[in-house]
Amino acid sequence: MRSVALAFLVLLSAFFQENASADRIKDLVSIAGVRTNQLVGYGLVVGLDRTGDRTTQTPFTVQSLRSFLANFGVVIPPGVRLQLSNVAAVSLHATLPPFVKTGSMIDVTVSSIGNAKSLRGGSLLMAPLSGIDGEVYAIAQGNVVVGGLGVVGAGSSVTVNVPSAGRVPDGAIVEREPPNGLLDDPWISLNLNVSDFTTAQRIEDAISEKFGAGAASARDAATVRVKAPASRSDRVSYLSLIENLEIEPGEARARVIVNSRTGTVVVSSSVRVSPVAVTHGNLTVTVSSDPIVSQPNAFSRGGRTVVVPRQQIAVDEERNPMFVFNPGVALEEIVEAVNRVGASPGDLVAILEAIKAAGALRAELVVI
């Protein structure tokens, strides 16, 4: 199985090398100011089937319910203790897309913040969703859809997924549009998804060639500034033309990504290794104990049976030949050599770290 996976890695690398082509600028950058915004809120879910908060342990649920009922003229005397099981206090969060308009619908995620067992079958009461600036941008309300399931029986319980969290599809109505300075700034900034000086320079060259010298300016490895038209109505078509320009991005940095928890190793096609010799072997020490029973001879006097342990120690060292990486060796040869030595994922991590420590790995080793 390991050799199949390594062979697949080699074929995948060769495929991308042979099929390298130009990419659209829209796939390489994001436009500054065109971003999502996070919203958060607090509310109550009602109508639960005795799976809500135990109000003796979550006083904020009772307090929220009192405040909610007070808005409708229902005042509960202070001395009355509410014993509820069909109400749960929840936190709400949603993502506000860019250019969203008033009246649009967005999804809301609902999560219990008390000790409710399940939100299945509940309905979220009207609750505001605020941004980081404290302004209310949406109002949430609707039926909660829960993918989890919890069943409790006599002395046993079964839980599938997480029943204490769910979603309200299209559960919030946008009441305020987020601020956007894209149409007012005389310059538009293109932020590269992966910082690279070569890619930034090629984006500048492609835009300047299309719209004239000075139309774009690469500020650094991550930002290219583009001069925007004075008329707002022309900016949409202008950005559309820029997004569909094609360039050949700079070659990605040589990296070896190692996940030490799962043993996953990803090697980019640009990895090179200087001359280095590598050997790998496993030393296995086995200690076994075989008890031997010693009995006295027949008709002997004063003898007794004795159990004498006999230990055997065996040392087994796996002998793997040393292999040499020649100058400028490519990915295919690295994979083939590591496969030949029979290294497991854990051993492969140790080999790569040793090669890096020796200064022979011409790549960035990232262990996650």
Q: Is residue 9 assigned to a domain?
A: no
Residue 19's pLDDT is 45
Q: What is the DSSP string of 329-349?
A: B-HHHHHHHHHHHT--HHHHH
Q: In the listed set 153, 174, 195, which residue is the last one of a domain according to the structure?
A: 174
Tally of domains within the chain: 3
Residue 43's pLDDT is 94
Q: In the listed set 121, 144, 174, which residue is the last one of a domain according to the structure?
A: 174
Do 162 and 228 fall within a single domain?
Answer: no
Do 64 and 159 fall within a single domain?
Answer: yes
Do 361 and 322 fall within a single domain?
Answer: yes
Q: Is residue 303 assigned to a domain?
A: no
82 φ, ψ to 5°? Answer: -85, 130
Q: Is residue 7 assigned to a domain?
A: no
Residue 11's pLDDT is 42
Question: pTM, whole model, 2 decimals?
Answer: 0.64
Residue 125's pLDDT is 94
Do 29 and 62 fall within a single domain?
Answer: no
Q: Is residue 297 assigned to a domain?
A: no
Do 87 and 156 fall within a single domain?
Answer: yes
- Dihedral sign, Cα of residue 119, residue 124, residue 128, residue 130: positive
Q: Is residue 342 assigned to a domain?
A: yes
Do 216 and 263 fall within a single domain?
Answer: no
For residue 359, what are the domain limits?
255-285+318-367
Do 198 and 162 fall within a single domain?
Answer: no
Q: What is the CATH number of the domain that holds 242?
A: 3.30.1360
Q: Is residue 46 assigned to a domain?
A: yes
Q: Is residue 8 assigned to a domain?
A: no
Do 266 and 362 fall within a single domain?
Answer: yes
Q: Is 359 exposed, middle or buried (0-12, 13-18, 19+ CB in 10 A)?
A: exposed
Do 219 and 281 fall within a single domain?
Answer: no
Q: Is residue 292 assigned to a domain?
A: no
Do 100 and 212 fall within a single domain?
Answer: no
Of 290, 293, 251, 287, nearest to 272 by C-alpha is 251
Do 231 and 148 fall within a single domain?
Answer: no
Do 144 and 220 fall within a single domain?
Answer: no
Of 161, 44, 28, 177, nearest to 114 by C-alpha is 44
What tens-digit pLDDT sequence spans the chain (368 residues)?
Answer: 444 444 444 444 444 444 456 789 888 898 888 888 999 999 999 999 888 888 778 888 888 888 888 888 888 887 777 778 889 999 999 999 988 899 999 999 999 998 888 898 899 999 999 999 999 999 999 999 988 655 554 444 555 567 889 999 999 999 998 877 676 778 888 999 888 898 999 999 999 988 888 889 899 889 999 988 877 778 888 888 998 998 888 777 777 777 767 767 777 767 777 776 666 665 444 445 566 666 666 666 666 666 666 655 554 555 555 555 555 556 566 666 666 666 666 666 777 777 777 777 777 777 77
Q: In the listed set 150, 174, 198, which residue is the last one of a domain according to the structure?
A: 174
